Amino acid sequence: MLTLVEKILFIVATLVSLYFTYRGVARIMLHINSGRGKLDWALAYKRIGELIVKVGLFQPVFRFRLGPSILHALIGWGFLSFLLINLADLIYAYTEFRLLDNTGRFGDVYRLIADFANVAIIVGIVAMTIRRFILRPANLSTRETTLLHPKARAGILRDSAIVAAFIFVHNSMRFLGESFGLALAGHTDSWQPSISAVAGLWSGVDPRLLIAGEHIAFWLSIGGVVAFLPYFPYSKHIHLFFAPLNFALKPERKSIGELSYINLDDQSIEQFGAAKMKDLGWEQILDSYACIMCLRCQEVCPAYNTGKILSPAALEINKRYHLNHGGTTDVELKELISEEAVWACTSCGACVDICPVGNEPMRDILDIRRNLAMMESAFPKQLETAFKGMERNMNPWNISQADRMKWAEGMSVPTIEQNAEPEILWWVGCAPATDARAQKTAQAFAKILNAAGVNYAVLGKNEACTGDSARRAGREDIFFGLASQNVEILNEVKPKRIVTTCPHCLHTIKNEYPAFGGNYQVIHHTQLINELVGAGKISMNLEGDNMKVTFHDPCYLGRHNKITDAPRDDLKSAGIELVEMPRNGAKSFCCGAGGAQMWKEEENGTARVNEARFAEAKSTLLNAGPSAGADTVAVGCPFCLTMMSDASKADGGTIQVKDVAEIVAERIK
């Protein structure tokens, strides 16, 4: 189809384009390789099935914003098809041989797919362009108070416009070129219904004009790809390549919240955490190139939702724009995210969970905290009390270990000294052991265990804080000491199973203690209650008040450790009328206590996180209609219990807040 001159020009243009594209890609790889750690390509082979689902079906995209996700899928699936379609078109342009058209039914189906993909991409990109530039929903921008690279606000819109124009021109010209070809052939093709319909418009047009149109369409379509390639490494749409790499090569983690191990016995370590971008892991630098700047992470962030200046999206955007505009990974992270924003994070993991390309901005923030706390002693002063408590008395409440079992006075709660080989080792946790309100949860759970005849024991005075709050606040030294001590004790006890009454304890013992040599089977107390009910070891009195309850999923239970069914099953077994909040399960909104926020004041914002979540719970209960008993917010975490209780008191205290164990214990026969 192309003339000899056109063929030569196209080859020259392609070589020049590939040279400049190579330089852009080489720059990106240089930045990624400057990060810590090494890529493990073997992981990609292990994740083939997962990659097919995530990349081929866009499964992570469909978890949020259904309408835009469908439009994105139309474009994405169309482009996957166009990898083959463009190749076939290029071969035809050089040889006039239709690679796939004349292969029987397979060729028919190919042409039908090409026709549909062409239309799908055009429809999708036009709709997305209208949304971005005309409708302009608030969730596609960030507040002026958020630290954003000076070139980013205008740059994101400009980049979107360039990419949208390229996609539209590329696909509409391909569509027109095919229609000119059909018109020249003098017939329609039932396997290309859309293109055939347009080809009918050219009936009677001078063939020379159709031939010229076919050539122009080729240069604007396939030639457009050649022209766009050098820009591609600087565009946010480079995620087309780096998102699959993110899913394929991201280091294995037991949970989205599992942090990397630091051996503090290694005296050669001089740098803790991340002060500069190059101190981050290679995969965290790759995150900035995988980011599509959709701001979904910002939309679910509890800090951003309550008016704080933290935006996890802004962090990734700032990393990319800094590198794209001549910066290096030697830049200090303080230039890309403020300290106030760093300390506003609740480590809830919502940003990691919702990201459609596998980014982990929370991990960057916690690595920055490590550096601030360990290298600069720059942390909110309110945290000092909790740090001193964990260092001196092995709990953030700073209660003497001698008082660790006071909560169980008057109850039959065996310690490990009294029952050396229990079936269940109950890790009570600091809050249920020392906090007056959370102690009621421990007492309720003890009642359940005793009623069910469970063979269990607690560590009593030998139990210390797991160190979760210290680690999320960046104090790896405190965490290392507590974790080492706890693992040593647990390995002596050799527990068959561990049950915790705190999701933070569950997460730390289950996911982070293995790095210290502690590998245990760990479950949450709601899971054990569910087991006991299922085994018929406890039965409920279903004749009590018909409470209407909504369950607040703790972040470290539902999102970090994917435990969502057990607490709900417990409540249903107790005859509870359960109503769901709009944000539940893995998409639950944070209570505001995680990430060591329990021990400090929130950063300035428009609302408190716990009050925002309680307002959602209250609205859900009120909209569900009247009930015979008191409306209740059920929780499965002592931190959530405190935060929701405080919010309830501030609201007048008309709604109860109880742990699932308390509700079940009240209804045991």
**Does residue 369 sit in the same domain as residue 443?**
no
Alpha helices in 205-252 (DSSP H): 207-228, 239-249
- Which residues have C-beta within 8 Å of that of residue 100, sequence separation ≥ 6? 84, 88, 106, 107, 110, 111
Write down which residue in 234, 253, 268 finishes a domain: 234
**Does residue 151 sit in the same domain as residue 15?**
yes
Rounded-to-integer distance, Cα 103 and Cα 88, Å: 13
Nearest to 104 by CA among 7, 211, 191: 191
Q: Is 508 within a domain?
A: yes
Nearest to 349 by CA among 550, 603, 561: 561
Rounded-to-integer distance, Cα 549 and Cα 67, Å: 31
Q: Is 252 within a domain?
A: no
Percentage of residues in the chain with pLDDT exceeding 70?
99
**Does residue 407 sit in the same domain as residue 531?**
yes
Q: Is 327 helix (H, G, I), strand (E, B) or coil?
A: coil
Rounded to 5°, the CA angle 59-63-69 comes to 75
**Does residue 411 sit in the same domain as residue 462?**
yes
Question: What's the chain's length in residues?
Answer: 669
In the chain, count H helices and then E strands.
Answer: 27, 8
Positive or negative, the Cα torsion across 358, 362, 364, 370?
Answer: negative
Q: Is 44 within a domain?
A: no
**Does residue 338 sit in the same domain as residue 392?**
no
Please give the distance of CA 587 from its chain centroid, rounded to a whole number: 10
Q: Is 240 within a domain?
A: no
Residue with tokens 């009294």: 418
Q: What is the dihedral angle through the alpha carbons of 472, 478, 483, 488, rounded to the nearest 10 degrees? A: 180
Write down which residue in 343, 375, 407 finishes a domain: 375
What SS3 string covers 369-408? Answer: HHHHHHHCCCCCCCHHHHHHHHHHCCCCCCCCHHHCCHHH
Rounded-to-integer distance, Cα 469 and Cα 599, Å: 9
Where in the sequence is the domain holding 92, given as residue range(s)?
4-33+64-234
Write down which residue in 216, 234, 252 finishes a domain: 234
Nearest to 531 by CA among 452, 446, 441: 452
For 382, other C-beta atoms within 10 Å of its C-beta total: 11
> Taking a C-beta distance cutoff of 8 angstroms, is the pair 549, 632 a contact?
yes
> Taking a C-beta distance cutoff of 8 angstroms, is the pair 505, 466 a contact?
yes
Q: How many domains does the chain have?
A: 3
**Does residue 478 sit in the same domain as residue 361?**
no
Amino acid 544: pLDDT: 64
Interhelix angle 282-290/361-375, rounded to 10 degrees, is 140
Phi then psi dihedrals of residue 466, to 5 deg: -70, -20
- Which residues have C-beta within 8 Å of that of residue 242, sequence separation ≥ 6? 286, 289, 290, 357
> Taking a C-beta distance cutoff of 8 angstroms, is the pair 641, 548 a contact?
no
- Which residues have C-beta within 8 Å of that of residue 168, sequence separation ≥ 6? 122, 125, 126, 129
**Does residue 148 sit in the same domain as residue 213?**
yes
For 356, other C-beta atoms within 10 Å of its C-beta total: 23
Q: Is 9 within a domain?
A: yes
> Taking a C-beta distance cutoff of 8 angstroms, is the pair 618, 535 a contact?
no
pTM (2 decimals)?
0.94
Consecutive 10-residue averages of pLDDT for the chain (669 residues): 94 98 97 94 93 92 95 93 92 86 81 94 97 95 94 95 96 96 89 94 94 96 96 93 95 94 91 96 97 97 97 98 96 97 98 97 98 96 97 94 94 96 97 95 98 97 97 97 98 98 98 97 98 95 82 98 98 94 97 97 96 97 82 97 97 96 94
**Does residue 351 sit in the same domain as residue 416?**
no
Alpha helices in 186-206 (DSSP H): 193-199
Rounded-to-integer distance, Cα 207 and Cα 203, Å: 10
Sheet holding 498-500, edge to edge: 456-458, 424-427, 498-500, 522-524
Q: Residue 320's domain is classified under what CATH number?
A: 1.10.1060.10
**Does residue 299 sit in the same domain as residue 345?**
yes
Q: Is 219 within a domain?
A: yes
Nearest to 487 by CA among 451, 514, 448: 514
> Taking a C-beta distance cutoff of 8 angstroms, is the pair 356, 61 a contact?
yes
**Does residue 365 sit in the same domain as residue 390?**
no
Q: Is 137 within a domain?
A: yes
Amino acid 629: pLDDT: 72
> Taking a C-beta distance cutoff of 8 angstroms, is the pair 192, 130 a contact?
no
Q: How far is CA 619 from CA 69, 95, 296, 553, 589, in A?
A: 28, 67, 24, 16, 14
**Does residue 172 sit in the same domain as residue 230?**
yes
Q: Is 633 helix (H, G, I), strand (E, B) or coil?
A: strand
Rounded-to-integer distance, Cα 55 and Cα 386, Å: 44
> Taking a C-beta distance cutoff of 8 angstroms, is the pair 180, 213 a contact?
yes
**Does residue 472 sit in the same domain as residue 590?**
yes
Amino acid at 458: V
- Which residues have C-beta within 8 Å of that of residue 265, sequence separation ≥ 6? none
Q: Is 46 within a domain?
A: no
